[in-house]
Structure 1
Amino acid sequence: MQEWGTPEVPGRPRAKERNAISSARTEGPDHTLALELVRVTEAAAIAADRWVGRGATNRGKAAALEAIHKRIMSVPMRGVVVIREGEKRDTPALFTGEGVGDGNGPACDIGISAGDSTHLMAREVPYALTAIAVAERGALYDPSPALSMEKLAVGPDCADVVDINRPVAENLHAVATAKGVPVSEVIVAVLNRRRHLKLVRDIRDAGARVHLIEGGDVAGAIAAACPHSPVDILVGTGGAAQGVIAAAALSCMGGSLQARLRPNDLEHGEKPGTGHDFDTVLHTGDLVRGQSVVFCATGVTGSELLHGVQHHAGRTTTQSMVMCSTPHTVRTVTSEHRHARRREHPGIDSG
């Protein structure tokens, strides 16, 4: 496996000296930290991939979380897990409030999405990602795990023309105008869920095209802001945790996420609980308030956004997105992880 690590070489600071340098850098996450974190999402994607297509609903996510936990502890930061997609029963690793990193470097909030959708990995359908969002301490919005989130995500060219309070048809015509195309060419990403049946009808009645995604709430939002993606806008209701993680990515891309909290389990008609505001519209800056934001994601199953994990003779390849808000940069990183060769003991017949 290719490593980003820095071995001890003459003229380079030793480990203790590097720690001292790192501890002085506490202003917030930056591109250097992003390149450390991509190793973590790569390891998680490879671990999750071992369970792709095997029908084991939670095993891939558990494997990804364990891989993240193992790798993230050596990353130079003082992180606290604020958001972790999934339930604690998936794996005891990386519970909310847990400290991560090596104890040096910037103080950070951490959001983790291990697989983006458990069912994606179990059935090998597109858009599964392992993702990590990092922002300054106190910058990530902390939603209740019992809540879902209604979302509207677009790229920079449409950030100022849409409003989640408007009917979907009005937003689609606004997107078409901003892009200079007829509404019939607008492609809308929607999670393939029963709760979205009416939404899908409304989109088609407006004349736009529906791109149904089985999961990949984070990936779908990113796709709406990617210039090489066919998706123009993401609408619908998904997980609140994924919404915050997607907002971190969009803040690095100049895109926009508008959201409203919703009760969980909408398909079973659960009534809104008390103590939550279901009317206020949350914007990207409400969900991710920091000035320094880093987002890393590695594809587990492939899509037009990222290739999935691919195995070859003696090596495994991964493709990742590495984003920073300051400066605004989006990188695609393709890595080749070489497998260690097993040496046969001299004098022993391997046949």
Structure 2
Amino acid sequence: MTIDKNFIDKFVNITSKAALASSYLIGKKDKIAADKAAVDSMRSELNNLEMKGHIVIGEGELDEAPMLYIGEKLGTNNGPEFDIAVDPLEGTNFAANNLPGALSVIAVAEKNSLFNAPETYMEKISTKITEKNVIDLDYTVKQNISNLSDYLNKKPEELTACILDRPRHKEIIEELKKLKVNLKLITDGDVSGALLVTDEKYNVDIFLGIGGGPEGVLAAAALDTFNCNFQGRFLFKTEKDKSRAKKMGINNLRKKYELNEIVTGDSIFCATGITSGDLVKGIEIQGNDFVSETLVTHKSSCLKKVIKLKQNL
């Protein structure tokens, strides 16, 4: 089974509209309002689609999020059945403070083929290299950099690693500096961070560290079409997290997930720029129109490109 190509434009339209809704709050210092604008728009548009949609990754669970929560049903209840992962505003701080890199993101897959990820942290790693035993979550930072150097025939000082600039990454960052690896430190937005390995123009050889589990699954959907490597391992700190994971069917809490275990079927991924960043440009208002840029992937047709749209406001 594959997802009909006709859905590509429909989902691009959905993230574009959500990005536009959020764009009116850029720089207003209110990340909650910016997020709500994107959520409300995305939910409304998704409900107009001829599909039976099921949110597997959303804005939290029913008791925490009134809309786009895990388990929510969307669409007209006619047509194909989809698993849907959403991050209507990836990089809430970027939008609130008018910083580069805010995105509106969605991933859609065939029913039961997208990992139902809990709202918890995930240890993750992504590279362009798909060969086994080169890059692995179980290796030390030093081992991964050594293997990457050998494989790419580059010195460590010619490599660039992307990582979230967080206190939890202090040891990894120090190790990378010791190895003379170039660093691209990001303050937020680890969906886009993981995707910087997809193209040489971004000059990122490896993305690593701990970020959001849902963001890991969203990134994996795009990385799958780009034929990149991704591994993730959830980090469950509290008993509540552990019991919730078990309810979701996760029995081995220390399991390392390969990309083909996170996305098992056909998928569409869309990330529309709200503020301009590495991947795409932000929303631009031109008179009575708005212009959006969306990074789109569709696995079965091998589509991976940036789509620029001009639409009426």
Q: 2:167 aligns with which of 174, 181, 194?
A: 194
2:221 pairs with 1:248: yes
Structure 2 stretches lacking a partner, 5+ long:
none
2:90 pairs with 1:113: no
Q: Aligned letter for 2:263? A: V
Question: Is the CA contact (8 Å cut-off) linking 2:129 and 2:135 kept in structure 1?
Answer: no
* Residue 89 of structure 1: how far off its partner (Å): 7.4
Q: 2:138 aligns with which of 123, 143, 165?
A: 165
Q: Distance in 2 between matches of 1:125 and 1:259?
A: 28
Structure 1 stretches lacking a partner, 5+ long:
1-26, 340-351
Question: Is the CA contact (8 Å cut-off) linking 1:249 and 1:295 kept in structure 2?
Answer: yes
Q: Distance in 2 between matches of 1:160 and 1:150?
A: 18
Greater mean alpha carbon deviation, residues 98-107 or residues 197-206: 98-107
Secondary structure of the residue aligned to 2:114 is: coil
Q: Distance in 2 between matches of 1:279 and 1:264?
A: 12
Question: Is the CA contact (8 Å cut-off) linking 1:28 and 1:107 kept in structure 2?
Answer: no
Over aligned residue pairs, what C-alpha RMSD do you find? 2.2
* Residue 58 of structure 1: how far off its partner (Å): 1.1
Give the corresponding residue for 2:295.
321
* Residue 244 of structure 1: how far off its partner (Å): 0.8
Q: 1:231 aligns with which of 204, 215, 218?
A: 204
Q: Aligned letter for 2:219? A: A
Give the corresponding residue for 1:148.
121
Give the corresponding residue for 1:336.
310
Closer/same/farther in 2, CA of residues 167 and 156 from structure 1, 3 Å limit: closer
Q: Distance in 2 between matches of 1:271 and 1:74?
A: 35
2:160 pairs with 1:182: no
Q: Show CA shifts across 1:109-129 (max 9, x none).
A: 000011112222112222221
Give the corresponding residue for 2:10.
36
2:263 pairs with 1:284: no
Q: Aligned letter for 1:114? A: P
Give the corresponding residue for 2:231.
258
Q: Distance in 2 between matches of 1:95 and 1:87?
A: 5
* Residue 103 of structure 1: how far off its partner (Å): 2.5
Q: TM-score, normalized by length of structure 2?
A: 0.90
Q: Aligned letter for 1:110? A: I
Question: Is the CA contact (8 Å cut-off) linking 2:12 and 2:296 kept in structure 1?
Answer: yes
Q: Show CA shifts across 1:172-211 (max 9, x none).
A: 2322333332211211111121111111111111111111
Question: Is the CA contact (8 Å cut-off) linking 2:2 and 2:300 kept in structure 1?
Answer: no
* Residue 240 of structure 1: how far off its partner (Å): 0.6
Closer/same/farther in 2, CA of residues 149 and 104 from structure 1, 3 Å limit: same
Give the corresponding residue for 2:37.
63
Q: Aligned letter for 1:289? A: T
Q: Distance in 2 between matches of 1:34 and 1:159?
A: 32
Give the corresponding residue for 1:51.
25
Question: Is the CA contact (8 Å cut-off) linking 2:125 and 2:231 kept in structure 1?
Answer: yes
Q: Aligned letter for 1:238? A: G
Q: TM-score, normalized by length of structure 1?
A: 0.81
Q: Aligned letter for 2:125? A: L
Question: Is the CA contact (8 Å cut-off) linking 1:78 and 1:106 kept in structure 2?
Answer: yes
Q: Aligned letter for 2:94? A: L
Sequence identity, in percent? Answer: 27
Q: Show CA shifts across 1:206-257 (max 9, x none).
A: 1111111111111111111233212221101011111111111111111111
Give the corresponding residue for 2:105.
131
